[in-house]
Amino acid sequence: MIIELNEENFDKEIETGLRLIEFYATWCSYCMKQRIELQELENSEIRIGIVDGDESPNIVNRYQIDGYPTFILFKNGEKIVQFSGFHKKSELLNRIMKYV
């Protein structure tokens, strides 16, 4: 399940478990392609959140997001790794599996 996150629900959503969060922008063509790859992960046990950078600038500033798409993997509320750019489903899984 992909959950739309914003400044009201972001902190609560990342506080427990392993969470992959994608920061995106509606005008970003790579982000739209990335969404297809993320949807293929929906059936996995990985919880995925997406943050519209234009709608949640405080979160973008907090994590110093400077391009889209950017991913942050959180474990129990702590940032584990951050990476940017388009990634195929297999690449995302490889990055995530290091921390499971």
- Residue 54 CB contacts under 8 Å (≥ 6 apart), including other chains: 25, 26
- 53 has catalytic annotation: no
Tell me whether residue 31 is one of the annotated catalytic residues: yes
Q: Which of 21, 25, 31, 50 is catalytic?
A: 31
Token pair 């929906």 in the structure block, residue: 42
DSSP state of 16: S
Instruction: Provide the greatest CA pair distance for the chain.
Output: 32
Each residue's pLDDT expressed in tens, for the chain with a length of 100 residues: 899 999 999 999 999 999 999 999 999 999 999 999 999 887 777 899 999 999 999 999 999 999 999 999 999 999 999 999 999 999 999 988 888 7
Cβ contact 17:66 at 8 Å = no
Question: Domains in the chain and their CATH numbers?
Answer: 2-86 (3.40.30.10)
Residue 98 pLDDT: 87
| Full-model pTM | 0.93
Catalytic residue among 28, 41, 80, 93: 28
Phi, psi of 47 (to 5 degrees): -85, 130
